[in-house]
């Protein structure tokens, strides 16, 4: 089923890592750590359905709300959709006006 899922989504690429080489998978492991500490550990999660809801909420926040420093403070969904350049900041800058 996994292979069929990957084949049906050309935007995804299945990358395998060697056994017992966490350095190859470090960025993904860091992502799971961020999800746990920034989102999941804030509340008691009683059952699997609540966990799924919380993970989906985190994913939406991470991709659509939160700007990321690595892509010039843009949101991943905007960069992926071509609405933002990952090298040019796309945020509003407060204009400081003279007080006199």
Is residue 31 domain-resident?
no
Question: Could you tell me the pTM of the whole model?
Answer: 0.68
Mean pLDDT over each residue of the chain, to the nearest integer: 88
Is residue 38 domain-resident?
no
Q: What is the pLDDT of residues 44-70, one digit of tens each?
A: 999 999 999 999 999 999 999 999 999
Q: What is the pLDDT of residue 21?
A: 79
Tokens, residue 77: 């969904």
| C-beta separation of 66 from 75 below 8 A | yes
Residue 61 CB: number of other CB atoms within 10 A?
12
Instruction: Print the domain residue range for 72.
Output: 46-91
Tokens, residue 20: 């017992």
Is residue 61 domain-resident?
yes
Give mean pLDDT, residues 2-26.
85
Is residue 32 domain-resident?
no
The total number of structural domains in the chain stands at 1
Which of 52, 57, 25, 23 is CA-nearest to residue 38?
Answer: 57
68 Rama sector, left if φ>0, alpha if ψ -120 to 50, beta otherwise = beta
Is residue 63 domain-resident?
yes
Q: What percent of the chain has pLDDT over 90?
A: 56
């Amino acid at each position: 089923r996994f292979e069929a899922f990957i084949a049906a989504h050309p935007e995804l690429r299945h990358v395998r890592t060697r056994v017992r080489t966490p350095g190859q998978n470090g960025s993904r492991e860091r992502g799971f750590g961020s999800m746990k500490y920034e989102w999941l550990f804030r509340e008691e999660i009683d059952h699997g359905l609540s966990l799924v809801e919380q993970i989906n909420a985190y994913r939406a926040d991470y991709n659509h709300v939160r700007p990321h420093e690595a892509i010039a403070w843009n949101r991943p969904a905007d960069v992926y959709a071509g609405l933002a350049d990952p090298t040019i900041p796309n945020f509003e800058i407060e204009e400081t006006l003279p007080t006199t």
